[in-house]
Amino acid sequence: MDGQVEARFPVRRRAGELALALLILALPAGAAAAGRAPAPGAASPGTPRDRPIAESGPARSGYVVLDATRVYHGDPRSFTRPAVLVMDDVFRVIPEYRQLIDEAIAASDARYWILLEQANKRFARVVREVAALGGYDLVAERAAVAARDAAVVVPDVTADAVRIVRAG
């Protein structure tokens, strides 16, 4: 079954390999050379564990970016009105991505890369449209952005994005 999952979802497998490669690159030079990871809970130099990756605008802003790599639209260092979505939920309704899944097209097939590029372009267009319609200057994956005040909820625009994809 693991081989089937790998064949049907090669993007996830590659994302895992990329994450592993980035983790290795992030290791301190001595730890990477010695083949060992830093001690659990140890902060990497220059990035304290308790500091967010990016804060919105001036220090008085009400939001922080926890993972800048999962920002799909906008500048993670300068924003005032964020929204979040679940990328997987949006991709599942994109016709080009559905075709990849339904036909189990392998990454070795040229159609795979053409359809994947079309799906990515459609996702980017939908995210831009959701941002424009809602007046959001940042759209990120859920849990990549948080409000400083626990009572404030960052709007989730997943349903809006899915509606736009289905509308064509």
168 residues of the chain, pLDDT tens digit each:
445 444 454 554 455 444 444 444 444 444 444 444 444 444 444 444 444 555 444 444 688 999 999 999 999 888 989 999 999 999 999 999 999 999 999 999 999 999 999 999 999 999 999 999 999 999 999 989 988 888 888 999 999 999 999 998
Q: What number of residues does the chain have?
A: 168
Taking the domain 52-168, which CATH number applies? 3.30.910
Prediction pTM value: 0.64
- HSE at residue 11, side-chain half, CA atoms within 13 A, is 14
Residue located via tokens 């991709």: 91
d(CA 55, CA 60): 10
d(CA 130, CA 10): 28
Residue located via tokens 């090669």: 10
Q: How many CB atoms lie within 10 A of CB 66?
A: 16
d(CA 12, CA 99): 16
Any residues with CB less than 8 A from the CB of 11 and at least 6 apart, and which?
A: 116
Q: Where are the domains of the chain?
A: 1-51, 52-168
Q: Which amino acid is at 78?
A: S
